[in-house]
Amino acid sequence: MDILFAALLLVLAGGLAPLALHRWLSAAKVAHVSLVAAGCLTGLYGVYAAWGQSTPVLFSCPWLHSLTWSLSLDSLATAFLPPIFLLAPVIALYSYDYLDAVEHAWRTAVNHFFFSLLVAAMVLVTLADNMAAFALAWELMSLSSYALVLYDYEREETQRAAHLYLLFTQTGALLVFAAFGLLAQSTGSLAFAQIQLAPQAAKTAAFFLALIGFGSKAGVFPLHIWLPHAHPAAPSHVSALMSGVMIKMGVYGILRLYFLLNDFNPLFARTVLVLGMVSGVLGVVYALSKREIKRLLAYSSIENIGVIFIGCGLGMVGLSSGNRIMAAFGFAGGLLHVLNHALFKSLLFMGAGAILHTVGARKMDQLGGLMKTMPVTGRTFLAGSVAISGLPPFNGFVSEFLIYYAAFQGLGLQGPDFLLSMAAIIALALIGGLAAGCFTKVVGIVFLGEPRREHAHAATDPGPTMGAAMTLLAVACLGIGLWPEPFIRFAFAGLRDLAPLAAVSADVLGAVPHNLAVIARVFVGLLLALTALRRLLYRGKPVSQNTTWGCGFTQATSRIQYTGASYSLSIVDFHRPFIKTTTKFAALVRIFPGATQYSRKVEDLAEIGLHRLLVRPVLKIADKLRWIQHGHIQLYIGYIVFTIAALLLVV
Amino acid sequence: MINSIDLILVLILLAVLLSLGSSRMMALIKIMALQGAMVSLVPIFIEPQARLSNGGILFFQLMLLIKAVLIPGLLYMALNRIAIKREVEPLIGYHASLLVGLGLVMLSAYITRRMGLSLPGDYALLLITAITTTGGGLFLMMSRTKAITQVIGYLMLENGIYLVGTALTKHTHNIYLVEFGVLLDLLAGVMIMGIILHNINRAFDDVDTAYLEQLKD
Amino acid sequence: MESVVSFGLALLLAPLFPGVILKTKALFAGKQGPPLLIKYFTLIKLLRKGSVYSASTTFVFRLGPLISCAAAIMALLFFPFAGTAPLIAFHGDVIMVFYLLGLGRFFTIVAALDTASPFEGMGAAREAFFSTLAEAAIFVVLILFFRMNGALSLAAYFSGSQPISIIGSQGALLLLVIVALFMILLTENSRVPVDDPATHLELTMIHEVMILDHSGPDLALIELGAFYKLFFYASFIACLIKPPPLADPVANTLLFYGVIMLLYMVVGVVESIMARLKMDLVPKYILTAFALVFFAVILTLEIV
């Protein structure tokens, strides 16, 4: 634990140093990157050191006389800490070249400060061992990320997005704290260890309250509304950290509470599983329909959170039905997907950031052909796209395979659990296919083909630290795919300290990791062999260049290329009841038609629902209550007096 | 090898699914003919052969004739005579209809299990088929615009009810009389509908039931 | 050793059978048709040529054929041809196989988009859409098979104490599956009711339009990959309808390839008597296959 404290101090120092050094921007940035990196490496060492110990490491100290501040490092925390410690230095490295505006030196320093604060807060959230510590860390995390989103605070769009985010995160926190309050009231203690003593009704209520709260942080389907607004507004390295790492804290919260409750109610399991399937499938369908890269990536995060939820939900179903193997594979798949998604989603956000930084265009249909002008970004983005589509030999496949494995185990169950397992498999297959469709769209439209607008010609690869960060992550994605054994064992080790799963050791794994590794390597070997064969076949053959065959049409311009909207049109239309599209198109009427316009808008069903069911009624009520506010300060004081008197009388 | 009754029931269910997914009137009628034939065969395979009397066999032959030949034939005639457009024109799309069909099968499997009826033998599949067919018929009536598809939906509904009857009753012959009555009702219904179709077609030049709304005052 | 031989035989013979389809279609049309070995001749012809690349393309375009061919070969590695044990088999390998085929598709699509041609984009969009639906249908087949004998591996499906076969105890259900798998085979391999490999109008194509710009050995690799993929699906169905294995391995192999020949002939017959579906009816077609299998799964709830 001491090592982790040292790590936290280093990370926080990495946040404070830029504030002091902001007059010398480069020095500030170097200090930030090196201190954060040093802190995170120390933290990784600390996690590694604690891994070998069979009992959780505990720490507690009194705080403000009445509260205790207690932390613990058990196996679940060790599973969630590495993504934080691995990604933070890489993202900090990326931000070195990304935040290069000299005129914004102070702003950059503040951004670095909150970045460090967010990293430290996330570490504390995973370490917290009582409600007070958790709540404090959780709030710290929410507020520092809110400040990070507000980087471009002059822009109105950013302000709106940040406020929306604050609203969601605070409402979520409110519900989580309400759940804690319920539990604390019934057990009379703030300690996590006492939670399992709570009565059944309190447990159920607390779980669902917390599920909504944590779910809104994680971005599960009907609660995801802040994500697609906050990510495009935030700077890309912040999106990478928030989408790659921070939203996983919601998953962590649910898992932590689920195991603390020690109540394997099938209702919890089925709810989580169904939420996972809904947000997985709808997330990717909405992602397909989006035109801005970062918004698309935000929806794809919702999809991946869905996949993680499917894994965890299958694990919970396994626990509630007594199928331990299914439980172990489900949870392990979910945990590994947390790490994997952190890697490739950060990579993709970095790629999107690189495009924004050098080209400045957000819409995909204005880009094209960037693979030639931005080779590093293009290649790493391609690797990330294959990985996020869950295709071998990259890392996304490994975790999805574990989840599939759990789901197939669930087919041996009876009744609704069987049906849910079956639905989970179909949902995973659909998600896999749709995600491949979605990311072929991004890669194909943005990086391949010909530039669609002039400014896309001028693109160049971004600065060296950005390229290095992206390359590191791409290599990590392929590395986990080719050497999955240690990582699968890492995910299973995350379940070690969880009482119901303690009996299931890594034996159930059998040869699974080995087989995955062998196939991935055989495939890569075969690919290399074929490449060599192809080179041999082309020796001495005439190879020439020409324009693309236009099927007889010779006046092709770059504007006749398929756009992202047309690429995804039929898939999106197929899911129509769940996705609302409005098309505006003036039909051609005359023989020589003039200029016409076509526009297509996709609205989020959850947003419409929220507006209709919550915002509008609340506004209506607020409208009716307007008479309360009439500007006389004396009356306001009177309100206060009355309220206090009433409270004193009643309570 | 799977026993023949299950095979027949599977075919009936398939007919329900296919009818929900078919876009052509002609195909729909052919599917109905197949379903009718299969439905009328069910009692023969449920009943142990030895207990079938001559009268019973006659009834089955009649039923087969009506369900598989006469009614589809009438529908076919109606279709040709009034020159209805070949397209089905659904209110709820084919994809959604197919998925609804699957949902119906699952729902009826669930209902059958929940009811836990003590059926003669292990004919759980029979009840599933019956409920699905009934539901499919209702759905077809609900989700298609043309009057002739309403008739087809009604036919399917009747097939389902007939199957429920076979599933739930002991097979004594007086029951057949009741069912025969139902069949006759149905036949009359089809004829009347045929005439109505004819009239609607003459009057409004279309057989969309939406036009029936214009009749209200 | 036996496994290596059967795998090699499959690699060698796969290009023969598409010739059977062509022959069947020609016979239906009252023509003599190309020789049976036509596909081998095509491959040799392509391998001897050079290539012309579009100036729009990048390395992704050259990667497409390599990966799609490698993925198809990988799929064959797992398959127990004529009952001989495959080279690789483990619990869960089917998931791997279909995801590898998915990888091949990913790169075919990306390579098509690399050409900046609107036609190829059109084909790519269709491929992405239809294959997603087909993949869902395939996974329902896997669910059904898992319900039937608890296996999750191509080799284990067709061996062991309860091999999945039409002559087994659940033949009626398998009838549905075979029909559905045949429909999926036609979809995934761009055969007639979904896609017409013989048409010359680029607007109506799916797979052929995506590979318009490939030439020479690259095109040969794509064609080879397509043959292997088709052979994989055909073998899958052949294993389901094959009569019980004979004692003699040679006779067994002959029987297996006989069944496959028959299947390819059926494909040829279907192509001769059916027209291509309207593009917007294709999803319904695939969903019908999906419904058939899903339906079979629901029935196992009661019958098993």
SS3 per-residue string spanning A540-561:
CCCEEEECCCCCCCCCCCHHHC
**Residue among C43, C88, C97, C132 with most chain A CBs within 10 A, to mutate:** C132
Does position A192 have pLDDT exceeding 70, yes or no?
A: yes
pLDDT at C59: 92
Here the tokens at position A460 are 């160049």
Chain C residues close to B105, C-beta within 8 Å: 295, 298
Does position A499 have pLDDT exceeding 70, yes or no?
A: yes
Closest chain A residue to B92, measured at CA: A577
Does residue B114 belong to the interface with chain A, where contact is any CB pair within 8 Å?
no
**Residue among A523, A568, A575 with most chain C CBs within 10 A, to mutate:** A523
Separation of first and last alpha carbons in chain A: 43
pLDDT at C67: 95
Q: Do B1 and C171 touch (CB under 8 A)?
A: yes
The pLDDT tens digits for C178-236 are 999 999 999 999 888 888 877 777 788 888 888 888 999 999 999 999 999 999 999 99
Chains that touch A (3 or more CB pairs under 8 A): B, C
Does residue B96 belong to the interface with chain A, where contact is any CB pair within 8 Å?
yes
Q: Do B7 and C172 touch (CB under 8 A)?
A: yes
Q: Choose among B1, B10, B23: nearest Cβ to C299.
A: B10
Rounded to 5°, the CA angle C185-A400-A493 comes to 150
Name the average pLDDT for chain A. 89
Does position A462 have pLDDT exceeding 80, yes or no?
A: yes
Q: Do A419 and B106 touch (CB under 8 A)?
A: yes
Q: Tell me the percentage of chain C whose pLDDT exceeds 90.
A: 54
The amino acid at residue A499 is A
Chain A residues close to B106, C-beta within 8 Å: 419
pLDDT at A592: 84
Chain C residues close to A417, C-beta within 8 Å: none
Domain ranges for chain C: 2-303
Chain C residues close to A561, C-beta within 8 Å: 116-118, 121
Q: For tokens 């389809």, name the residue.
A: C21
Choice among A647-651, C179-183, C270-274 with the minimum mean pLDDT? A647-651
Q: Compute the average pLDDT of residues C260-271.
A: 93
Q: Distance (Å) from the C-alpha of residue A40 to the closest C-alpha of chain C?
A: 35
Q: Distance (Å) from the C-alpha of residue C50 to the closest C-alpha of chain B?
A: 46
B132 close to B191: Cβ distance less than 8 angstroms: no
Q: How far apart are CA B41 and CA B49, in angstroms?
A: 13
The amino acid at residue A232 is P
The pLDDT tens digits for A409-419 are 998 888 788 88
Does residue A521 belong to the interface with chain C, where contact is any CB pair within 8 Å?
no
Does residue C295 belong to the interface with chain B, where contact is any CB pair within 8 Å?
yes
Chain C residues close to B21, C-beta within 8 Å: 284, 287-288, 291
Chain C residues close to B88, C-beta within 8 Å: none
Helices C118-149 and C282-303, interaxial angle, to 10°? 10
Does residue B111 belong to the interface with chain C, where contact is any CB pair within 8 Å?
no
**Residue among B12, B105, B117, B129 with most chain C CBs within 10 A, to mutate:** B105
Closest chain A residue to B106, measured at CA: A419
Closest chain A residue to B103, measured at CA: A419
Distance (Å) of CA A188 to CA A173, B146, C2: 21, 67, 70
Q: For tokens 């984009």, name the residue.
A: C121
Closest chain A residue to B114, measured at CA: A415
Here the tokens at position C6 are 């059967």
Q: Do C284 and B95 touch (CB under 8 A)?
A: yes
**Residue among A284, A386, A411, A538 with most chain C CBs within 10 A, to mutate:** A411
Q: Number of structural domains, chain B? A: 1
Burial annotation C234-261 (CB, 10 A radius, 16+ → b, else e): bbbbbbbbbeebeeeeeebbebbbebbe
- Which has more pLDDT, A301 or C150? A301
pLDDT at B174: 47
Q: Compute the average pLDDT of residues A459-481.
A: 91
Surface of A (419-478) touching C: CB under 8 A: 422, 425-426, 428-430, 432-434, 436-437, 439-441, 443-445, 448-450
Chain B residues close to C292, C-beta within 8 Å: 14, 17
Q: Distance (Å) from the C-alpha of residue C228 to the closest C-alpha of chain B?
A: 31
Chain A residues close to C53, C-beta within 8 Å: 543-546
Q: Tell me the percentage of chain A whose pLDDT exceeds 70.
A: 98
pLDDT band at A380 (very low <50, low <70, confident <90, very high): very high
pLDDT at A501: 75
Helices A395-409 and C118-149, interaxial angle, to 10°? 40
pLDDT band at A57 (very low <50, low <70, confident <90, very high): confident
Secondary structure (3-state) at A262:
coil
Provide residues of A within 8 Å CB-CB of chain B: 419, 574, 577
Chain B residues close to A419, C-beta within 8 Å: 106
Chain B residues close to C301, C-beta within 8 Å: 109
The pLDDT tens digits for A271-301 are 999 999 999 999 999 999 998 999 999 999 9
Q: Do A437 and C132 touch (CB under 8 A)?
A: yes
| DSSP state for residue C152 in the 8-state scheme | -
Choice among A25-34, A377-386, B67-76, C110-119 with the minimum mean pLDDT? B67-76
Of B47, B45, B40, B39, which is closest to residue B14 (Cα–Cα)?
Answer: B39
Chain A residues close to C298, C-beta within 8 Å: none
Mention every residue, 6+ apart, whose C-beta is less than 8 A from residue B167.
Answer: B119, B123, B126, B127, B130
Name the average pLDDT for chain B. 74
- Which has more pLDDT, C83 or A6? A6
Closest chain C residue to A429, measured at CA: C136
pLDDT at B204: 45
Q: How far apart are CA A502 and CA A508, in angstroms?
A: 12
Q: Tell me the percentage of chain C whose pLDDT exceeds 70.
A: 98
SS3 per-residue string spanning chain B:
CCCHHHHHHHHHHHHHHHHHHCCEHHHHHHHHHHHHHHHHHHHHHHCCHHHCCHHHHHHHHHHHHHHHHHHHHHHHHHHHHHCCCCECCECCCHHHHHHHHHHHHHHHHHHHHHHCCCCCCCCHHHHHHHHHHHHHHHHHHHHECEHHHHHHHHHHHHHHHHHHHHHHCCCCHHHHHHHHHHHHHHHHHHHHHHHHHHHHHHHHCCCEHHHHHHHCC
What pTM does this model have? Answer: 0.91
Closest chain B residue to C286, measured at CA: B95
Does residue C304 belong to the interface with chain B, where contact is any CB pair within 8 Å?
no
pLDDT at B184: 62
Choice among A77-91, A488-502, B115-129, C244-258 with the minimum mean pLDDT? B115-129
pLDDT at A429: 95
Q: Where are the beta strands (DSSP E) in A307-358?
A: none
Q: Choose among C131, C213, C297: nearest Cβ to A548.
A: C213
Closest chain B residue to C295, measured at CA: B102
Q: How far apart are CA A643 and CA A300, in angstroms?
A: 47
Q: Do B96 and A574 touch (CB under 8 A)?
A: no
Chains that touch C (3 or more CB pairs under 8 A): A, B
Helix H or strand E encompassing A34:
helix A25-51
Q: How far apart are CA A288 and CA A281, in angstroms?
A: 11
Q: Do A549 and C96 touch (CB under 8 A)?
A: no
Surface of C (252-281) touching B: CB under 8 A: 281
Encode chain B (217 residues) as per-residue pLDDT tens digits. 356 777 788 888 888 988 888 888 888 888 988 988 888 888 777 765 545 666 667 777 777 887 788 888 877 777 777 666 667 777 888 888 888 888 888 888 778 777 765 555 556 778 888 888 989 988 888 888 777 777 788 888 888 877 877 766 655 544 565 566 566 667 656 766 665 666 555 444 555 566 666 665 5
- Which has more pLDDT, B181 or A543? A543
pLDDT at B1: 39
Does residue C284 belong to the interface with chain B, where contact is any CB pair within 8 Å?
yes
C20 close to C265: Cβ distance less than 8 angstroms: yes
Closest chain B residue to A416, measured at CA: B110
**Residue among B95, B99, B108, B112 with most chain A CBs within 10 A, to mutate:** B95
pLDDT at B203: 43
ipTM confidence: 0.95
Q: For tokens 């932590």, name the residue.
A: A256
pLDDT at B202: 46
Helices A375-388 and C93-113, interaxial angle, to 10°? 150
The DSSP-derived string for A174-195 is HHHHHHHHHHHHHHS--BGGGG
Helix/strand/coil percent split, chain C, to 5: 70, 0, 25
- Which has more pLDDT, A138 or A192? A138
